[in-house]
Amino acid sequence: MTDLEDWLVEQRSRRGVGKAKRMDPSVPAAVWHEEELLDGEVVDTMAAVVRTGGCSHDRDHGGCTMCGYASETPHRPPTVDEYLSQVRALAARRGDARWVKLYTSGSMLDPDEVPPVVLEAIVEAFDDVDMLTVESRAEHITAERVRTLGDPSRTEVAIGLESACDRVLDGSVHKGMDLAAFQRAAAEVTGEGASVRTYVLLKPPFLTEAEAIDDSIEAIEAAASAGSSVVSLNPVNVQTFTLVDRLHHMREWEPPWLWSVVEVLRRTAGSVPSTTRVISAPTAGGKVRGAHNCGRCDGDVVRAIEFHRLSNDPEELDAVPDCGCRPMWRSQLDLEGLMQGPFAPFGYRRSSVR
Amino acid sequence: MVLEIKARDVLARTGSWKGPSGPEVRLPILLRTLPSISRGELDEGDEAILTATGPGPDGVLVVRDLGSTLRPVKGDGGDWAHLVIPAEEPLPPSLADELDSIAPTTVSEDGLVEVVHAAASRVADDPPPPGSVQWVVMASAASLVGRPPWFIDAVMRAKERAGPGRLLYLPGVATPRNLALLSYLGVDVVDDVQCHLEAARGRRIRPELGHVHRPDAGTDGDLVARNLSTMRDELALVREVVEHEALRELVEVRVRSEPWQVAALRRVDRQHRSRLLPYCPVHRDAPLLALSRESLERIEVTSWVEALLERYEPPANTRVLLLLPCSARKPYGNSRTHRRIAEALSSVPNRATVHEVILTSPLGAVPRELERTYPAAHYDIPVSGDWFPDEVERMRSLVEHIRTVGTYDAVISHMGPGLPFLEEDGSVSRSRTGGEGALDNGALGQLASLVSQAASDALRTSRWERQREDLASLARFQFGRDVAKALLEGGQVAGRPPGLRLKGPDGDQRAMVVPARGRLSLTLSGAELVAAAGHHRVWMDDFELRGDLFAVGVTDADPLIRPEDEAVVVRGDLVVGVGVARMGTTEMLAANRGTAVAMRHHRGRGRGGGGGGGGGGGKA
């Protein structure tokens, strides 16, 4: 009998070993600069993916169904020297960034993934930034580890909640975590006076578009109640060597519509207290492997979502021009749930006559 | 719960269904979907709706969908719904065989509806659904459209689960283009989802062509209504053609609207014959139009070819095989062509040794003594004067088979050009030279002379003997070799063709050929012989049978009795009557309503005199 976890573990063994061998453990997986909204001001931000020994959940349980970061994991963990060389590289590329966000393929606060001595070096290297964000799975978050991150008023811990529905967390995302675990971790962070940034998925596998919208809204509201200062909505995109990739290839799942992103942001703008900022920066937005619309309006909608992210002004979303594909999205919301299984009709979204 | 079948056409059926609550609805059922329509928007004639939210309008069947187990639909107790589709565990078709920890079926709380992930091949090994299940709903059907082999295999697995006693619902798939095909696959319930989705993308659905979908000028805003109206028209058409047993003809027209449909139909014809065969009638009054390449593979045609290959033996003591072209008029013997040929052969000596076989498409070959059976007397083809290679190949293989099982000294062909397997065979004499028509005087003269010569060289056979052998051949074709042997044992033939009668040594009649069907119908004494040979038996419950035998009274039946086959009704060890099966073995055993056997003769009711049931014989 093969269940979802067995399947994921099995697939994990097929991921590109060759690619992992070519990865240099002394160089970060990715570094880029972006804009962020800090205290009402748009600031230069450096974001990076630190190359680590890999995510504990991926290693032990096959990982999440949409996450391709595991395939950024090198074939052996970096040595401490290699980690320190990554930290130096990051410091050198910081430029004028006042906000630094550090991701890994797993958890910065997992001592088995990132040695504590490395974390200390990171904190020290960026002790003058206005905000330092580190990402971690909930189970690795303790008050004690949060304290090692330095001044809590300048510290943000990013946690993937993904969904507030335990059935979705288990049967769709395969997160290896429930809502209560997230709530506990968030309390540890806020208890230390640090900020919580929460990631919420839009449309993990097996959900219909309409179910996905409801699921995201529920998760955003749960994240806000747990004291998140920022909730970032991540429309699921297609990453290689994931279950989502396979379903997409088989035309059994499609990324969400950009209209759904707008819908979730609009509806939560009304339901979430102003202490929580709800934003989205769709990966591969407007592309076939990311959240997308009909192909004609995608640029405008992606821009509106970006303006909203940097202005925190819901009116930016109302400025999205209407498009002939909106009725198609609307019809899918109305009808897909009645079809006994999500559908991804080939070419539906990008083949309208209008 | 009442499932009343009005008409059957292989797996398709019309009629009505009524659940434990809610109104009676007509098959196939078209579910309108809410919330895409508001309550006021139901149209005249809408009989059923599908909704997640409810409540539904009064007077229609209301089906409620509870979504999936990941995020089941919340809400009230839902006592406004007549049927509830349970929340199923999601299982994408491409993972269905890999994630085998997920149960592929889910039954609703009230036991009436089962959702099946039919893409999972383990479904075939699962025990059948509980007896309470009335609807089988195929999950992820819409994801499978466009992948014809998967789609067809899954639908056939779902249909097998539903069987003849339950309804099969394919959600989210139906369009006016594919409704005929879905009905042909045995789908009883469809919905209007695609009418809405296509309208939302600005498309007008036309039943004829899938890729021409621009809305008619000036009707842009009304696309949903227009698509729905097309759907209703097609639904009415499907019902009508099922009742005329012409669905296959409509299917062959409609599948041409989209490539996947043609591929799907080929898959059914080639891979799922054994699922269609038990439902395929052995006789119809309706014509069979063989107008496309797919016609060559339709079950009525392939089962003809298979019967010839499996159990055909030519009439014994025929020594001259005469191959003749077909005629448009059926049976061939009534056509001008065949009358002229018969005239030309009228003076042939020892004529009874000449065995005529008509070569044609799509059937390949029709031995003269079978020419009144279905579909030999019913088919029509486009006559263009030349053949496709697969048509020629079918004729060739059947001629080869007939020559192998026969005892011919000579083979004479009166066929036209284009059949290399005859032209290049030195052992075949040809009565027509290039360019000569079948009825040209020269050709007919040559035919008469070739046949006369071959027949006078052959052993003498009497006409009386030949009639008996023709009847034996028909019996083998109809019942198989064992039964035919038992039936013919010690028997003698009376009457004039085509109305031959078979009598036992005491003069009691065993069977007769019904000219309109070209098949044998049994008397009680014939039925005794067939039953003793162990075939065509239908066992009934312990009650006094008056009139027809209904499915509810059937306890068992021999395998593969097909609709319109002869059926011998047995109670305990006693043959109590004989008639014509109105449903196949599978359906007789599963159904609770409808006539299983239309009785011709009851034991102890004299000669039975047709009809049996109602008349004045009840007093005995």
CATH code (residue B569)? 2.30.130.10
The verdict on a CB contact (< 8 Å) between B93 and A252 is yes
Looking at beta carbons, which pairs linking B509-513 to residues 24 or more positions away fall under 8 Å? Answer: B511/B475, B511/B487, B513/B372, B513/B471, B513/B474
* B35: chain A residues, CB-CB within 8 Å: 334
**Both tokens of residue B589?**
């055993």
CB-CB neighbours of B553 under 10 Å:
19
* pLDDT, mean of residues B309-331: 96
pTM above 0.80, yes or no: yes
Interface membership of B217 toward A (CB under 8 Å)? no
* A165: chain B residues, CB-CB within 8 Å: 70-71
- The β-bridge partners of A169 are none
Between residues B523 and A350, the one the model is more confident about: B523
pLDDT at B613: 36
- The β-bridge partners of B288 are B379
Interface membership of B219 toward A (CB under 8 Å)? no
The verdict on a CB contact (< 8 Å) between B90 and A330 is no
Q: Are residues B140 and B118 in the same domain?
A: yes
Residue B611 has pLDDT above 60, yes or no: no
pLDDT per position as a tens digit, B451-483: 999 999 998 999 999 999 999 999 999 999 999
Question: Which candidate from A215, A330, A339 shows the least CB-CB separation from B172?
Answer: A339
pLDDT per position as a tens digit, A244-268: 999 999 989 999 999 999 999 999 9
Give me Rg for the CA atoms of chain B.
28
pLDDT per position as a tens digit, A111-161: 999 999 999 999 999 999 999 999 999 999 999 999 999 999 999 999 999
pLDDT at B217: 63
Asked if B475 and B487 count as a contact pair (C-beta separation under 8 A), the reply is yes
The verdict on a CB contact (< 8 Å) between B67 and A332 is no
pLDDT at A221: 98
Phi, psi of B115 (to 5 degrees): -100, 135
* A171: chain B residues, CB-CB within 8 Å: 69-70, 89-90
A87: left (phi over 0), alpha (psi -120 to 50) or beta: alpha
Q: Within a domain: residue B343?
A: yes
**Both tokens of residue A193?**
């006076």
Q: Are residues B232 and B108 in the same domain?
A: yes
Residue B392 has pLDDT above 50, yes or no: yes
Q: Which of B540, B559, B527 is nearest to B597 (CA)?
A: B540
Phi, psi of A30 (to 5 degrees): -160, 145
Residue B405 has pLDDT above 90, yes or no: yes
Average pLDDT over chain A reads 93
Interface membership of B465 toward A (CB under 8 Å)? no
Asked if B378 and B331 count as a contact pair (C-beta separation under 8 A), the reply is no
Report A:257-286 residues touching B (Cβ under 8 A): none
Average pLDDT over chain B reads 92
Q: To the nearest whole angstrom, how far is the Cα of A128 from the nearest Cα of chain B?
A: 45
pLDDT at B212: 81
Q: Are residues B586 and B607 in the same domain?
A: yes
pLDDT per position as a tens digit, B269-296: 999 999 999 999 999 999 999 999 999 9
The verdict on a CB contact (< 8 Å) between B71 and A168 is yes
**Both tokens of residue A336?**
């897909």
Of all residues in chain A, the percent with pLDDT exceeding 70 is 97
* A252: chain B residues, CB-CB within 8 Å: 92-94, 140, 143
pLDDT at A192: 97
Q: Are residues B128 and B165 in the same domain?
A: yes
Phi, psi of B473 (to 5 degrees): -65, -45
Burial class (CB in 10 A: 0-12, 13-18, 19+), B379: buried
Single out the residue in B443, B463, B483 at which a domain terminates: B463
Q: Are residues B268 and B121 in the same domain?
A: yes
Instruction: Please name the residue of chain B whose CA is at the shortest distance from the CA of residue A1.
Output: B101
Question: Which candidate from A214, A338, A345 shows the least CB-CB separation from B50?
Answer: A338
Q: Are residues B443 and B532 in the same domain?
A: no
Instruction: Please name the residue of chain B whose CA is at the shortest distance from the CA of residue A331.
Output: B197
Edge-to-edge order in the sheet of strand B566-571: B549-550, B595-602, B574-581, B566-571, B537-540, B554-557
- The β-bridge partners of B410 are B320
Q: How many CB pairs under 8 A join A and B?
A: 149
Of all residues in chain B, the percent with pLDDT exceeding 90 is 84
Beta strands in chain A (DSSP E): 30-38, 41-50, 99-104, 131-135, 155-162, 195-202, 230-235, 277-280
Q: Are residues B90 and B150 in the same domain?
A: yes
pLDDT per position as a tens digit, B204-245: 999 998 888 777 666 555 888 899 999 999 999 999 999 999
Residue B609 pLDDT class (50, 70, 90 cuts): very low
How many residues can be counted in chain B? 620
Q: Are residues B26 and B98 in the same domain?
A: yes
Q: To the nearest whole angstrom, how far is the Cα of B206 from the nearest Cα of chain A?
A: 15
Q: What is the DSSP letter of A169?
A: I
The verdict on a CB contact (< 8 Å) between A340 and B138 is yes
pLDDT at B615: 33
A111 preceded by cis ω (within 30°)?
A: no
Single out the residue in B279, B300, B321 at which a domain terminates: B279
pLDDT at B384: 82
Q: Are residues B263 and B296 in the same domain?
A: no
pLDDT at A345: 67
Q: To the nearest whole angstrom, how far is the Cα of B148 from the nearest Cα of chain A?
A: 14
pLDDT at A227: 97
Residue B604 has pLDDT above 90, yes or no: no
Question: Which candidate from B35, B143, B201 shows the least CB-CB separation from A341?
Answer: B143
pLDDT at B620: 32
Domain of B221 in residue numbering reads as: 2-279
* pLDDT, mean of residues B252-268: 96
Residue B610 pLDDT class (50, 70, 90 cuts): very low
Q: Within a domain: residue B513?
A: no
Question: Domain total for chain B?
Answer: 3
pLDDT at B76: 64
Interface membership of B201 toward A (CB under 8 Å)? yes
How far the first Cα of chain B sits from its last, in Å, is 35
Give me Rg for the CA atoms of chain A.
20
Residue A73 pLDDT class (50, 70, 90 cuts): confident
Residue A54 has pLDDT above 80, yes or no: yes
Q: Report the CATH number at residue B297.
A: 3.40.50.10630
Q: Are residues B32 and B139 in the same domain?
A: yes
Residue B616 pLDDT class (50, 70, 90 cuts): very low
Residue B426 pLDDT class (50, 70, 90 cuts): very high
- For chain A, the domains span 4-339
Of all residues in chain A, the percent with pLDDT exceeding 90 is 82
Residue B607 has pLDDT above 50, yes or no: no
* pLDDT, mean of residues B397-405: 98
Residue B37 pLDDT class (50, 70, 90 cuts): low
Distance CA A229, CA A272 (A): 11
- CATH class given for the domain over A4-339: alpha beta
Q: Report the CATH number at residue B66.
A: 3.20.20.105
Single out the residue in B279, B313, B338 at which a domain terminates: B279
pLDDT at A343: 75
* A339: chain B residues, CB-CB within 8 Å: 141-142, 171-172, 193
pLDDT at B515: 94
CB-CB neighbours of B45 under 10 Å:
10
Question: Which candidate from A168, A172, A337 shows the least CB-CB separation from B52?
Answer: A337
H/E element, B25: strand B25-27
Residue B619 has pLDDT above 50, yes or no: no
pLDDT per position as a tens digit, B51-89: 988 777 888 999 999 999 998 877 666 788 999 999 999
Mean pLDDT lowest among A256-260, B156-160, B492-496 = B492-496
Interface membership of B101 toward A (CB under 8 Å)? yes
Q: Are residues B259 and B217 in the same domain?
A: yes
Q: Are residues B307 and B240 in the same domain?
A: no
Residue A15 has pLDDT above 90, yes or no: no
* A335: chain B residues, CB-CB within 8 Å: 33, 36, 172, 193, 196-197
* B97: chain A residues, CB-CB within 8 Å: none
pLDDT at B38: 58
DSSP string, A124-139: HHTTTSSEEEEE--GG
